[in-house]
């Protein structure tokens, strides 16, 4: 990349990605939501952003497997 995103993206977005990572479900799939309650109690924009980050993460995992010769 021409510029490192670590230095060009504002800190609040880095904090949001850390929040997403902390809230992700592990192998058991249990998520820990940022607000009290279940998925329906979360802000829509947060859920949309979490979904986008999850899609990016899945694509990166798939590319890593492909590069490692795993499919």
What are the structural domain ranges in the chain? Answer: 39-71
7, 40 contact by CB (below 8 A): no
- Decide if pLDDT at 1 tops 70: no
Q: How far is CA 31 from the centre of its chain?
A: 12
pLDDT at 71: 59
Q: Tell me the C-alpha distance between 48 and 60, whole Å.
A: 19
Which of 63 and 38 is assigned the larger pLDDT? 63
pTM summary value: 0.77
Q: Give pLDDT tens digits for 9-55.
A: 899 999 999 999 989 877 666 678 889 988 899 999 999 999 999 99
Q: How many residues does the chain have?
A: 71
């Amino acid at each position: 990349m021409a510029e490192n995103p670590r230095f060009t993206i504002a800190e609040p977005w880095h904090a949001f990605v850390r929040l997403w990572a902390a809230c992700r479900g592990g192998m058991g799939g249990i998520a820990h939501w940022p607000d009290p309650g279940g998925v329906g109690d979360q802000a829509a924009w947060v859920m949309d952003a979490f979904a986008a980050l999850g899609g990016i993460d899945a694509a990166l995992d798939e590319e890593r497997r492909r590069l490692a010769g795993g499919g």
